[in-house]
Structure 1
Amino acid sequence: MQGDMMAELPGMPSLGEGWLHSYIAKAGTADALRGDVGRGAKWWHGLFEGVARLSEGRLDLLQQRMARQVQELGTAFRLPGEERERPWPVSAMPLLIGEDDFAIIAAGVAQRAELLELLLDDIFGDQKLVSSGGLPAALITGSRAYWRSQIGVPPPGGHRLHIYAVDLCRDPGGDWRVLDDHVRAPVGAGYALENRLASTRLMGALQTRLHVERLAPFFSAFREGLAAACRRSEPRIGLLTPGRYNQSYAEQAHLARYLGLLLVEGSDLAVRDDGLFVRTIEGLKRVDALWRRIDSRLLDPLAFDSNSAIGVPGLMDAMAAGQAVIANAPGAGVVESTAMGAFLPSLARRLIGEDLKLPNIATWWCGQEKPRAEVEARLDELLIAPAFTDAPVGLPRGRPVLAATLSGAERAALLADMARRPEDYVAQEDVHLSTTPAVQDGQLVPRPFTVRVFAARDGQGQWTVMPGGFARIGDDSDARATVMGDGAFSADVCVVGSRTVEPVSLLPQKVPIRRNPGTLPSRAADNLYWLGRYLERGEATLRLVRATLGGSIVADGGAALFPLTLDRLGTMLVASGAAAQDRDEHADEEEPDEDAGETHDLRELALLALDGQGAASVASLMRNARSIASGTRDRLSADVWRLVDAPLPRATSDDAEATLARAIDLQERFSALAGLSAENMGRTAGWRFQDMGRRIERALWTSRLVRIFGGKDASADDLTTLLDLCDSQISYRARYLAGLALEPVRDLVALDPYNPRSVAYQAERISEHLKALPALRDDFMAEPHVTIFYRIEAAIRTASAETLDGTMMLGIENMLSELSNAISARFFLQGSEGYRMAGMTLA
């Protein structure tokens, strides 16, 4: 508030101007902002003024708001070896690049991408560069990414590269230079998009006033480029992921959702007759292109590494036959090696007749005698790095190191191995980076940065460059690239222009209307089905916990439940697997009888049901639900994922009231998840499997409850508990004024098709789902899972409350379990073979 008042006084600088001048005073001459302002650029002035208004003069609040936006978007990453993901770190202060400056970057990136394409064509084609001496053979064969089997294999669509990324730095003189090329499976386009989404939510109209270029046209062009490389006019394109434990899986899921691609793992795919197919609930469906995010070595165990468990056997046959476009083509990573940078300037002049518009940082490959001699003479000035991905003996950690920082023994070991295997080493100049404003501890400070920029082929096969990217920001004021490493956090990179940017979206203006929701892979159906079952089972466990503790606490003067009813609740907690207890090694090995009362410590059982290791404890079920949901991230909303991923509330006390309060809080979370599923999910096949899982699980639990609490000897407490557990107290009291009676309670919770908690209601919903799901038979005969359901339906329709005994309910339970197994066998992945009926057409 004080800053706003000062800004209104005549002759006084605004808060934003004050921040700007203060920052310039502390920034070095190599700072991006200082250099732009020195050339007369005005965009930083606009940014600082806008940030001052948004932050109300408090930059720490601005950073907190950015963190909240990242959390709401679900942007995350995972470190190797960690189970849980971490929030993606984003600076609230974007990096601004003027349109004229970025035009130079874009031209250089497109030129470089085309150069690498031509280089790959020669390496896996005529190999004229090697035969003429323009490229040392050891530079190719020394790379793990080189695959001899790809020689002479033309890429479908005519291009080996479809997407390319390059790491750039801005040197102290203001010139942009290349640090690294990324062509195998470039990572980060999704993070650039998510950074922009978070920044847009935070900055709002400020980005419009700054005329920030939009990213959507780049992604649209990339999607059109992949489609143009395929043979079919409406191709099916997948994003091939290593799986949910990959470090950047969250980014991959977001990209697949944004671009409308199938997110598939190797086990989802199969090759038949040189064609690539995805296993879906409708059988095998044709896949025309894959954007791969796994290493070439793991792509096809028949062509590359036979130990790969995440690849697709026969994928290279499909590619060689021209039936599957792979972006980027296997072997592309051979041009990624650090050593290749030493030759790219001369290769550019030879292959495209031009000098590089974006020069490399100076690089010497030690595999040639003259460069090695120069490196040894200037050793203390240079950075020594592995030439390829493998760590040489002289650099045991596999990371670049400043030779001047080595001990005498380390230096001797390095020189000895360089003499023995010089081709394993490169030397590079120690690059100093420009700085950019970053928010740290509520203050604007200059921090070093690098930028990753992306290029992709469009529908005409030309390179288009993303107008932006993402910046890595160091958390130390030391501006050397070796010190910064991968950076501490990221920032949105905004290209600002002089003209208003027209609103655009990912979709073209004219799109044919369709209501087909698309293909549902079998793995996704499997995940959604079991997500529904685990969430419903968790809610049922919480109802048991609440009934157990609520019945044993005199909270409102009412009497506690009869001991036999409480023992049945405790026995059910144990028998269901929710409260797994350590059994004495000499104890009877028989399973507890669900119908017989046993003496239990109910408070202990409730705690185990919430936090224990039992298969049906809430903690175990939520772990399973989180694991499944993470593998289906592309089909879940950010709200659903946030609720599933949220940590469970910690126990502050082990007394009954505190445990009951936790159970109530958790049940509210489960109710929210059920509400999101019911109201927000489109009525697609994916929703049907998720809801069918819920319905089968609810029918199983209700059948079990009727069997245990609705027997012929049921007491009033048993019937009260049964109505509570089935959330049917209000319905019963509104319908029957005479009080509790066994047969009306049985009818309401088991046979009433109008009660959403009854077994009959679940059966009707299951019937609707099964009718809507695809059939593979064309002879109009019922498939096995449908036949099983007919038996369940008949048993429920012909039952009456008078004859509904434990034996009948147990039979319905068994048939429901049989139905679940049959659904799994029909629709989900079973081993390595896709489900295929005789005469089925592969589409």
Structure 2
Amino acid sequence: MADDLLAKLRPEPGRYHEVFAADGEVHPHWQAFSDALRELGPAQMQHRAGLVDRQVRENGVTYNIYGDSQGPDRAWRVGAVPNLIPVEEWQRIASGVAQRAQLLDRILADLYGEQQLLRQGLMPQELVFGHNNFLAPCVGLQPVGGTFLHTYAVDLARAGDGRWWVMADRTQAPSGAGYALENRQVVARAFPTQFRQLGVQSLTGYFQTLLQTLRRQAPTSAGEPPLIVLLTPGRYNETYFEHVYLARHLGIPLVEGHDLSVRQPHVFLKTLNGLKRVHAILRRLDDDFCDPLELRSDSALGIPGLLAVARAGNVLIANALGTGVLESPGLLGFLPSACRHLLGETLELPSVATWWCGEPPAMEEALERLQELVIKPAFPSQHFEPVFGRNLDEDGLEKLRERIRQRPYAYLAQERMQLAQSPVWHNDEGRFINHAVGMRAYAVAGEHGYVVMPGGLARVAANPHDDVVSMQRGGTSKDTWVCFGDRQRQNLPRSRHIGVRDLRRHDPYLPSRMAENMFWLGRYAERADNQARLIRAALSRHLDSDPAQALALMLSLHHGQALGLFADHGELTPRLLAGIRNDDERPDLRGNLRALAYAAAEVRSRLSQENWSAIAALEQEVHDIDADSLEPVTALGFLDRLLMSLSSLAGFAHDEMTQDQSWRFLMLGRLLERLQYLCGLLATALQTPGMHEPAGLDWLLEMADSRITYRSRYLSQAQLIPVLDLLLLDPGNPHAVSFQLRQIMTMLDTLDSRDRRPLAQLHAQLETLDLGVIESDMAQPERLVRSLQTLARLLEQISLTAWQLGDGISLQYFAHVERQSQALASS
């Protein structure tokens, strides 16, 4: 019976349970959902949980755990069963969150303004001035629109009696709102009937309010539409997926610090069409990294001069610089008095009991109760994990007391809460297990006060007996459903009207860095395809041991050595496998695929979900390659799968992507790489004795991915003249040299490039090639050799010109990007 799914879920003494009351009865607001769960058997619940996991993988939802062995893009973890909160309870939470956001905004205005709280002793100067996110250069800086705290998040937890307590404030660049929206998408699909029946409140109003606030407060000239960007530290940030997701959802460019430039007194986005003024920056970059001129000088992520533009009132920064100072948990105990002073109100949401040891009475009380408290750092610059007094023996407690006495200002003590519990489905055991749970709620500054997201991000401890809720420790997230029955949904802000005169058929804000990475994504994809074909050809012929394939094997080795893939000495099998993965500094296929994945991650916001999923699958397979256990048969299987995946990427590029400027750079990268490689391959082959034999020509067709086309046309062994026609002159063969040249010149014309002429001259020279002359020379070997050498020199010149053209494109379109060019990776 399905009753078994919930039969063992009962609250522990002293803990609140999200589903069951202390007497074992189901909470009224959970009754309908628990009835639905009781109708499911373990197999059906397993199916629902699998559906959620599959959607997360297919949507490419990731969360980077630093130092994780699973690679840089770990799948986000979502529990299939949401947390439910009735609307009456949520209204009390939302009122408390909105009040708290208003209070913290007022505190920030005071700390960076008159500093009355510090003068009157309502807040300790040591906790403020000693905090590394208190930015002295921002004192006296009035943010555009007068708002310091545009977005705010608060970590909440339930005590045993069900009351909500604040565990921490997130004021710098609050994360998780995008994950909450993604969780809603996947969990609602797992339980669509219950989602409709419970009338779950929508989350979209929060994001629309955020966008409206940024547009309203952005400092623009009359009639000028504001340009809003989302500033990310880059793909290695733990929540990079969310940055991409939010930029897409809000419809604003995703940028890194290198994409922005200060030209006094404004901030500009460096685009292919020139500099575009930026009016608002929604930042996900920590305070002190934002401006290396006035803040952290070793930051390579920020925008030099940004603070000066903010002082001039010419850019909105959300949240304002310096807001991270309020994330010190030591300030929690001082907020009630600050609330009475600034708002004349009692703080609605109480904070967990906190003692800052910098106050002697508080330190003495903390030392007396040390065994029942949790010791935490007072400042984020301190790096140590929370210490639970209950886990220490008497010797450990005494040592901790001594450390606190030596530096009391660096420590704080908090009451240890017995966190509420929520059911989490375990696939491996086929049942629900209770885990500790907390919730992060979100608020955004609106036109008439703070608007609280009706829901949030529930976070569950990684292990059933763990009381620390942290995604960095492998925790799981849950969707939070605010159930409101027949109540009307909230009125959402109106979107900006887009008329006929506003229509666009190109992206006017395409960052140069984005175009550069699209260009290199195309090059790396084509380069990986070329390398994979070459390694597969060599490995398969080596395993075949057919004397008739000796020429093709020799050609593969020769060309692979020229590219640096294969060493020129040693046992053959390890040499070939090292082309896939080696441990020295020689180029290998794995390194190229990693570069492909990096470039793709940099342009993730421009890729379709299917395209990104294919790249993520590629990256995972590359991550799983084990050089020590790699065998020839396994390697061949990997190469076959890889070539199929790369072919899919090419198909996505041709058929799924909008053919705009970013697509043109992607295709230009592919075309240049293919032209350069193909010309080098043909030039080498034409100067190799015996190349015109069927085995050598067949190998050449394989390398150019034209073997099937040849066989379908000629139904015979490979011969020199038709092979040359197919690979050099055929206007319909996408792997022919002439085809690449025409496509590249068309792209250059569209981009208005200044580098077209040299390639056009060589194309005209190739078009004059008379295969009849070569055919007549076949009767005289010496003349044939000279003819083929002349053709080879032309192809070498085309290959060199293609390489120079790639450099020219970088100089014309990407050189003003102030970072090391990815072109260095091609050397």
Normalised by the shorter chain, which TM-score bucket? 0.7 to 0.9
Amino acid at match of 1:488: G
C-alpha deviation, 1:530, in angstroms: 1.1
For residues 470 and 135 of structure 2, what CA distance do their matches in structure 1 show? 34
Amino acid at match of 1:74: G
User: Per the alignment, do residues 476 and 741 of structure 1 end up closer, same or farther by CA in structure 2, a change over 3 Å counting?
Assistant: closer
Match of 1:746 in 2: 724
**1:583-594 map, 5 Å:** none
Match of 2:677 in 1: 701
**Contact preservation (8 Å) 1:476, 1:484:** no
**Contact preservation (8 Å) 2:460, 2:470:** no
Gaps of at least 5 residues in structure 2 are 775-786, 822-827
Match of 1:76 in 2: 62
**1:321-379 deviation per Cα after TM superposition (whole angstroms, max 9, x unaligned):** 11221111111111211111111011111111111111111122233344334334444
Deviates more, 1:709-718 or 1:537-546: 709-718
For residues 688 and 107 of structure 2, what CA distance do their matches in structure 1 show? 82
Match of 2:534 in 1: 544
**Contact preservation (8 Å) 2:5, 2:37:** no
**1:335-734 map, 5 Å:** 335-391=326-382, 398-440=384-426, 441-458=429-446, 460=447, 462-478=449-465, 480=467, 488-499=475-486, 508=495, 511-512=498-499, 513-551=503-541, 561=548, 563-581=550-568, 601=572, 603-612=573-582, 617-644=588-615, 645-648=619-622, 659-710=635-686, 714-734=692-712
**1:717-796 map, 5 Å:** 717-736=695-714, 740-773=718-751, 775=752, 783=754, 785-796=755-766
Match of 2:52 in 1: 66
**Contact preservation (8 Å) 1:216, 1:506:** no
**Contact preservation (8 Å) 1:749, 1:755:** yes
User: Per the alignment, do residues 542 and 344 of structure 1 end up closer, same or farther by CA in structure 2, a change over 3 Å counting?
Assistant: same
For residues 479 and 657 of structure 1, what CA distance do their matches in structure 2 show? 45
**1:62-211 map, 5 Å:** 62-82=48-68, 83-211=71-199
**Contact preservation (8 Å) 2:521, 2:599:** yes
For residues 576 and 809 of structure 2, what CA distance do their matches in structure 1 show? 33
**1:403-443 deviation per Cα after TM superposition (whole angstroms, max 9, x unaligned):** 45444454444444544443333222221222122213221
For residues 719 and 503 of structure 1, what CA distance do their matches in structure 2 show? 70
Deviates more, 1:310-319 or 1:660-669: 660-669
3-state SS, counterpart of residue 87 of structure 1 = coil
3-state SS, counterpart of residue 447 of structure 1 = strand
C-alpha deviation, 1:263, in angstroms: 1.8
**Contact preservation (8 Å) 2:371, 2:392:** no
User: Per the alignment, do residues 732 and 136 of structure 1 end up closer, same or farther by CA in structure 2, a change over 3 Å counting?
Assistant: closer
User: Per the alignment, do residues 547 and 494 of structure 1 end up closer, same or farther by CA in structure 2, a change over 3 Å counting?
Assistant: same
User: Per the alignment, do residues 36 and 270 of structure 1 end up closer, same or farther by CA in structure 2, a change over 3 Å counting?
Assistant: farther
For residues 578 and 801 of structure 2, what CA distance do their matches in structure 1 show? 30
**1:144-186 deviation per Cα after TM superposition (whole angstroms, max 9, x unaligned):** 1111111111112221111111000011111111000011121
3-state SS, counterpart of residue 284 of structure 1 = strand
User: Per the alignment, do residues 189 and 738 of structure 1 end up closer, same or farther by CA in structure 2, a change over 3 Å counting?
Assistant: closer
**Contact preservation (8 Å) 2:144, 2:316:** yes
What TM-score results when the alignment is normalised by the length of structure 2? 0.88
Amino acid at match of 1:683: Q
For residues 822 and 551 of structure 1, what CA distance do their matches in structure 2 show? 39
3-state SS, counterpart of residue 77 of structure 1 = coil
User: Per the alignment, do residues 371 and 656 of structure 1 end up closer, same or farther by CA in structure 2, a change over 3 Å counting?
Assistant: closer
For residues 501 and 675 of structure 1, what CA distance do their matches in structure 2 show? 46
For residues 503 and 608 of structure 1, what CA distance do their matches in structure 2 show? 61
**1:677-723 deviation per Cα after TM superposition (whole angstroms, max 9, x unaligned):** 22211112111111111111111122122213345962232222222
**1:481-526 deviation per Cα after TM superposition (whole angstroms, max 9, x unaligned):** 5999967322111111212776999994954454333422121111
**1:807-840 deviation per Cα after TM superposition (whole angstroms, max 9, x unaligned):** 00000000000000111111124563999xxxxx
C-alpha deviation, 1:261, in angstroms: 2.4
For residues 660 and 560 of structure 1, what CA distance do their matches in structure 2 show? 20
Percent of pairs with identical residues = 33
User: Per the alignment, do residues 727 and 319 of structure 1 end up closer, same or farther by CA in structure 2, a change over 3 Å counting?
Assistant: same
User: Per the alignment, do residues 354 and 530 of structure 1 end up closer, same or farther by CA in structure 2, a change over 3 Å counting?
Assistant: same
C-alpha deviation, 1:78, in angstroms: 2.0
User: Per the alignment, do residues 577 and 193 of structure 1 end up closer, same or farther by CA in structure 2, a change over 3 Å counting?
Assistant: farther
Amino acid at match of 1:815: T
For residues 479 and 461 of structure 1, what CA distance do their matches in structure 2 show? 41
- Determine which of 804, 813, 818 is the counterpart of 1:832: 818
Gaps of at least 5 residues in structure 1 are 4-14, 392-396, 584-599, 776-781, 836-843
**1:91-112 deviation per Cα after TM superposition (whole angstroms, max 9, x unaligned):** 1221111111111111111110
3-state SS, counterpart of residue 453 of structure 1 = strand
User: Per the alignment, do residues 112 and 38 of structure 1 end up closer, same or farther by CA in structure 2, a change over 3 Å counting?
Assistant: farther
Amino acid at match of 2:582: G
3-state SS, counterpart of residue 798 of structure 2 = helix
RMSD of aligned Cα (Å): 3.2
**Contact preservation (8 Å) 1:55, 1:61:** no
**Contact preservation (8 Å) 2:231, 2:281:** yes
User: Per the alignment, do residues 27 and 508 of structure 1 end up closer, same or farther by CA in structure 2, a change over 3 Å counting?
Assistant: farther
User: Per the alignment, do residues 504 and 562 of structure 1 end up closer, same or farther by CA in structure 2, a change over 3 Å counting?
Assistant: farther
Match of 2:777 in 1: none
3-state SS, counterpart of residue 184 of structure 1 = coil
For residues 223 and 463 of structure 1, what CA distance do their matches in structure 2 show? 14
User: Per the alignment, do residues 627 and 720 of structure 1 end up closer, same or farther by CA in structure 2, a change over 3 Å counting?
Assistant: same
Match of 1:333 in 2: 324
For residues 512 and 67 of structure 2, what CA distance do their matches in structure 1 show? 28
**Contact preservation (8 Å) 2:693, 2:719:** no
Residue 235 of structure 2 corresponds to residue 261 of structure 1 = no
User: Per the alignment, do residues 37 and 675 of structure 1 end up closer, same or farther by CA in structure 2, a change over 3 Å counting?
Assistant: farther
For residues 488 and 13 of structure 2, what CA distance do their matches in structure 1 show? 31
How many residues in Structure 1 have an aligned counterpart in Structure 2?
Answer: 787
3-state SS, counterpart of residue 86 of structure 1 = coil
**Contact preservation (8 Å) 1:77, 1:249:** yes
Amino acid at match of 2:440: R
User: Per the alignment, do residues 40 and 735 of structure 1 end up closer, same or farther by CA in structure 2, a change over 3 Å counting?
Assistant: closer
3-state SS, counterpart of residue 456 of structure 2 = strand
**1:118-142 deviation per Cα after TM superposition (whole angstroms, max 9, x unaligned):** 0010111111222233323223112
**Contact preservation (8 Å) 1:710, 1:742:** no
User: Per the alignment, do residues 381 and 576 of structure 1 end up closer, same or farther by CA in structure 2, a change over 3 Å counting?
Assistant: closer
For residues 95 and 805 of structure 1, what CA distance do their matches in structure 2 show? 71
3-state SS, counterpart of residue 154 of structure 1 = coil
